[in-house]
Amino acid sequence: MAVGSYGIVRPADVSPDDVEILYHYAADRVSTTAVTLKKLTSNQVLTPILHTGTTTTDTTAVGTEILGGLYNLLLSADDFSDLGIYTLYIRPKQIRTTVTDCGILASLPSVRGVVIDLSNVPSADRNKFTPQGLVGYRVEYINPNDNKKLPNFYKIVTSSFYCTPVTANLNTTTQKSVRYQYSEGATNFMFLTVTPSSAPSNKPNTVPFIGSPGQKIILSNTYFNPTTIQIDMVEHDASTLANALYGNQTKAVTPGIYTIYDKDNNIYKQYNLFEIKDDFNDTLYEVRETRTDIDETLNFDTITNI
């Protein structure tokens, strides 16, 4: 007998153009400086991993089909040059626009929707405003009184079609005479139905708020959940510390040069070793000083093969 349960979790195969990556830098974990966010160009730093011959039996998909949920994140040293803590915030791309009208369909007066003038949409995002291209998008609203986003309030787009305004002859002046009808061809307006938008059956006069003309809104896709990544930029990592602890070392006695080598016996660090004595020739201090002028003649293989 079937259990009747269905899986709903799936790895994202989102395009990098539908992603926004913001980051914040702090010198340390106790820094009290104000948060300043910077934005990365997502399609330059984010690359999806494609299927290979070992990940699918369909040879036609090799090299063309996205391996869902797995991406390469390539960060430039120019943006992450300082030592400290970088917090990356990866979220669905946001599209900010304005509600032109909240109207109804001329042929179906019970259907309410949000009307968007495509001239108010950023040109880089206008290609998403196609018939049924915004289904599943989240709509969030900006409070016109304080220009802040309404917290914990959003709608989900259930359909999106081109539309044109029409004038309807109504028996009462309390109703809006401008209504909308769907258009088969591309127009400058798009009619978005959202949910919930209809009144509950037990209280039919309570119509849910779906926006007001002139109100700013934020449209964002729901292809994946936002995530945060923390990156620590440090002077030393495990491999460089291993060089100092376990790498080959030499000490040139006469010039007093102490040399540390990496795993390939390349010179990693050099130090000057010397003593500071008092007037009676008694040693006061033994000093190890970092050298900036590296002596390349102190090659490990040359020294050990003498």
Backbone φ and ψ for 272, nearest 5 degrees, come out as -90, 130
164's CB contacts (< 8 A; 6+ apart) are 180, 181, 183, 187, 189
278-296: per-residue pLDDT in tens? 988 999 999 999 998 999 9
198 and 98, same domain (yes or no): yes
- Shared domain check, 83 and 108: no
Q: Are residues 204 and 291 in the same domain?
A: no
Looking at residue 169, what is its pLDDT? 61
Q: Are residues 86 and 101 in the same domain?
A: no
Contact 145, 131 (CB under 8 A): no
Specify the number of domains making up the chain.
3
- pLDDT, residue 284, reads 94
% of the chain residues with pLDDT over 70: 95
Tell whether 76 is covered by a domain: yes
Check residue 251 and give its pLDDT: 94
228 assigned to some structural domain: no
**Average confidence score pLDDT of the chain:** 90
Whether residue 127 is found in the same domain as residue 30: no
* Same-domain pairing of 132 and 173: yes
Based on the fold, state whether residues 214 and 107 are members of the same structural domain. Answer: yes
What tokens were used for 35?
């948060």
Range of the domain at 161: 94-223
Does the pLDDT value for residue 246 go beyond 70?
yes
d(CA 201, CA 212): 23
* Widest distance between CA atoms in the chain: 114
Q: Sign of torsion, CA 231 236 238 239? A: positive
- Closest to 19 (Cα-Cα) out of 73, 98, 87, 85: 73
Question: Do residues 59 and 6 lie in contact, with contact meaning Cβ atoms separated by under 8 Å?
Answer: no
Provide mean pLDDT across the span 181-206.
89
How many residues in total does the chain contain?
306
Q: Is 242 found in the same domain as 134?
A: no
pLDDT computed for residue 8 by the predictor: 74
Q: Residue 175: its pLDDT value, please?
A: 55
Checking if the pLDDT of 171 tops 70, the result is no
Residues 42 and 60 in one domain: yes
- Smallest CA-to-CA distance from 232 within 85, 90, 120, 131 is with 85
Q: Please calculate the CA angle 223-131-101 and round it to the nearest 5 degrees.
A: 95
Mean pLDDT of 252-278: 93
pLDDT at 182: 95
Residue 2 pLDDT greater than 70, yes or no: no
pLDDT of residue 69: 85
Lowest mean pLDDT among 41-45, 201-205, 272-276: 201-205
Distances (CA, A) of 73 to 15, 41, 64, 113, 221: 13, 11, 19, 39, 20
What pTM does this model have? 0.79
- pLDDT for 44 beyond 90: yes
- pLDDT score, position 176: 57
Q: Using one digit for the tens of pLDDT, what is the confidence trace for 54-102? A: 888 888 878 888 888 889 999 998 899 999 999 999 999 999 999 999 9
> Does 290 map to a domain?
yes
**Mean pLDDT, residues 93-115:** 93
Same structural domain, 23 and 126: no
**The two structure tokens encoding residue 142:** 């900006």
pLDDT category, 11, cuts 50, 70, 90? confident
Asked whether residue 10 is assigned to any structural domain, the reply reads no
State the pLDDT at residue 140.
97
In a domain, 100, yes or no: yes
In the chain, the percentage of residues whose pLDDT exceeds 90 is 64
User: What confidence score (pLDDT) does residue 207 get?
Assistant: 85
